[in-house]
Amino acid sequence: MGEYPFMLNYGYKAMVPVEVGSGSLRRDRYMEEDAEVNQMLHLDLLEETRENSQLRLATYQQRAARYYNKKVKGQLVKVGDLVLRKVMPNTKNPQHGVFGANWEGPYKIKQSYGRGLITLKTWKGS
């Protein structure tokens, strides 16, 4: 997103514990009056910083989705076709462990509702 989470929450960069214990340029040049003015300025700009960060995140997610979807090839299926169903974590048999099957079936497509939504029945007909 281009910003540190601490910056998005509190409006300024966090100090590393090493900087607190030993001298650093940032700590040595610290002035209370300037710090208060700068903090108020940063707090005024914090909402804008958050919005810019959200825009960068949304742009990145759109680019990632475009890249992923560019490689996906759609396949038309129709009623009566045989398909395999992906085994989801909540339906996976825990006794099989990591060596369990990733797919189950075959199933026949009983009904198609469009946009990839289908009803399945077992291959034997139930």
Rounded to two decimals, what is the model's pTM?
Answer: 0.43
The span from the CA of 82 to the CA of 60, in Å, is 37
Q: Closest by alpha carbon to 87, among 101, 74, 76?
A: 101
Please write the tens of the pLDDT for every residue from 18-51: 555 666 656 666 666 676 777 777 777 778 888 8
Dist. CA 1–CA 56, nearest whole Å: 6
Find where tokens 């997610």 sit.
61
Largest Cα–Cα distance in the chain? 80
